[in-house]
Structure 1
Amino acid sequence: MSTITANRPVDRATSFRGAVAAEWTKLWSVRTTWWTMLAGLLLMAASAGQLAIYAVNANTNDDPADDPGIVTLGSVVIDSVELTQYAVLALGLLAITAEFTSGTIRTTLQCTPSRGGVLLAKAVVAGSVTFILGLLLAGVGALVAWPVLGEWGSAPAAGTVGDILAVAAYLALVGVLALGLAAALRSAVLTLTVLFATLMIVPLSLQEPDITVLNRIADAFPGVAGGHFLAGDTEPYPAVVGLLLLTGWAGAALALGRAALRRRDA
């Protein structure tokens, strides 16, 4: 009896590793993964190039009022994330909604009966892939923007590397957030709509009247918190608090998805 009990954690760990391996294989075996990655790369390259052109044009036009001066490469990459993140969100949510659509989620749950284990394995894979993708996207954005900025760009090594890592961390967390919501909502379109509202529409609506209480509420939303983290802000709270808030949103989304998976049939 003691031998069986002692082996249970090992078996559970082995089962989880197998689930992670299976999710990794599934993610890379579907074309949507590659298409969303390509879309992200194109969006990042276009956004970074466009923002760099804007910075150069503003500095060289006849109106000194709009001159941004020398801008850091990292700031251009960070600003480019606002649009690019939606390709990463699509990657995160499609990791599970595609299985609901095709019905293969039943096979997944038969192979790994623990529904929480399935979602956690998906989160590990989605978070890892979107972090690596974030590094690639930020690197591409930097490579595109740097020659365009020319004399109007600055690229301090430590700051640029830090910004690239911050972008990767942000995209990994919003990817997991998308996965958790998708597990609860089961629809790619509905999940993307909710994400768009949560990350952008609702916070902007709260900030529009410029009322302090509403601004503070908006600061707690994941997109705004992530923006404070990426910008390295100290107000209204330190950047690390923004990171923690975003992590909390991702964790809450996973908890919601886990509850939905356990409560409903596949």
Structure 2
Amino acid sequence: MSTNTVAGVRPAAEPTASQGAAAAFRGAVAAEWTKLFSVPSTWWTMLAGLVVMAASALQLAIYAANDNTNDDPLDDRGIVTVGSVVIDSVELTQYAVLALGLLAITAEFTSGTIRTTLQCTPARGRVLLAKAVVAGAVTFALGLLLGGVGALVARPTLGGWGSAPAAGTIGDIVAVATYLALVGVLALGLGAALRSAVLTITVLFAILMIVPLSLMEPDIAVLNRIADVFPGVAGGHFMAGDTEPYPGAVGLLLLAGWAGAALLLGRAALRRRDA
């Protein structure tokens, strides 16, 4: 009998390297989850998102209903789906949601607590990935809630000029949540690279809205095609389920590519620069 065996019972096997890494990653995710929900800014940001979504959906639904009550029947918009109102409301609401992603990293650089985070989890890539998992999951769940609130506000406001097929509305809400999760991760990656909340939100505003709109303003074909690859435009095509200038699935892939590239940029900056 082996000297390591007592009363016929073999000792428990030591965890493998992969099991140890998985356990460490789970611990990092749990830590990031705790940090995110232990600060008031998270809750205030969520509340701001709900208020902006409700107000935007209400305003857009009123506009849509009023467009069908003018004196010229040829100008009527006809029946409007609740999902389309929710999707249009994301244009403003997303900036409240983006704050969750960028503050998850920039707030730690501002306060200096990033040093404690990296002392607890020296693997910087693991830290950023854990933050991305938490930010993506939270913004996706928040997106579902926001979409539901927008639909509840828009449906009665549209009245007889609104349509809310169950499958279509649920699909639109899930698309909105997916879009917000990816732009939340995009914000996190840029925040890791830029380390400033103000600078990060400025860059996000530029790539999501200012630059694409500037490219599309002259209505030149080649500039329009360039604008179509920017994350906000690609996400819009995805949420709307467009077929032109490319299928909605391509828009999702483009948006995911932007989010992935931002994470890689943030990871490179986090590894090369001092905390």
- TM norm structure 2: 0.94
1:98-156: CA deviations, max 9, x gaps?
A: 10010000000011111000000000000000000000000000001111111000011
1:222-253: CA deviations, max 9, x gaps?
A: 00000000110000100000000000000000
Q: Structure 2: which 5+ residue stretches go unaligned?
A: 1-11
2:124 aligns to what? 115
2:97 aligns to what? 88
2:142 aligns to what? 133
1:251 aligns to what? 260
Matched residue count:
264
1:201 aligns to what? 210
TM-fit CA distance, 1:64: 3.0
1:33 aligns to what? 42
* 1:151 equivalent in alignment to 2:160: yes
State how 1:1-266 maps to structure 2 within 5 Å.
7-266=16-275
User: One-letter code of the match for 1:118?
Assistant: V
CA RMSD of aligned residues (A): 1.2
TM-fit CA distance, 1:49: 0.4
- Please identify runs of 4+ aligned residues in structure 1 that moved more than 6 A: 3-6
Q: Distance in 2 between matches of 1:117 and 1:66?
A: 55
Greater Cα shift, 123-132 or 154-163: 154-163
1:58-111: CA deviations, max 9, x gaps?
A: 101223343211000100000000000000111110001110010000000011
Q: Structure 1: which 5+ residue stretches go unaligned?
A: none
Q: Distance in 1 between matches of 2:140 and 2:222?
A: 34
TM-fit CA distance, 1:4: 9.5
Secondary structure, counterpart of 2:16 in structure 1: helix
1:165-192: CA deviations, max 9, x gaps?
A: 0000000000000000000000000000
2:9 aligns to what? none
User: One-letter code of the match for 1:97?
Assistant: T
Secondary structure, counterpart of 1:118 in structure 2: helix
Q: Distance in 1 between matches of 2:67 and 2:238?
A: 26
Secondary structure, counterpart of 2:212 in structure 1: helix
The percentage of counterpart residues that share the same residue type is: 83
Q: Distance in 2 between matches of 1:201 and 1:188?
A: 18
User: For residues 4 and 259 of structure 1, do their structure 2 counterparts lie closer, same or farther at Cα, with a shift above 3 Å needed?
Assistant: farther
Structure with more helix by fraction: 1
Q: Distance in 1 between matches of 2:238 and 2:40?
A: 32
Q: Distance in 2 between matches of 1:66 and 1:107?
A: 60
- TM norm structure 1: 0.97
2:5 aligns to what? none
Q: Distance in 2 between matches of 1:15 and 1:175?
A: 24
TM-fit CA distance, 1:5: 9.3
Q: Distance in 1 between matches of 2:13 and 2:59?
A: 61
User: One-letter code of the match for 1:38?
Assistant: L
Q: Distance in 1 between matches of 2:200 and 2:120?
A: 26
Secondary structure, counterpart of 2:139 in structure 1: helix
1:178-218: CA deviations, max 9, x gaps?
A: 00000000000000000000000000000011111111100
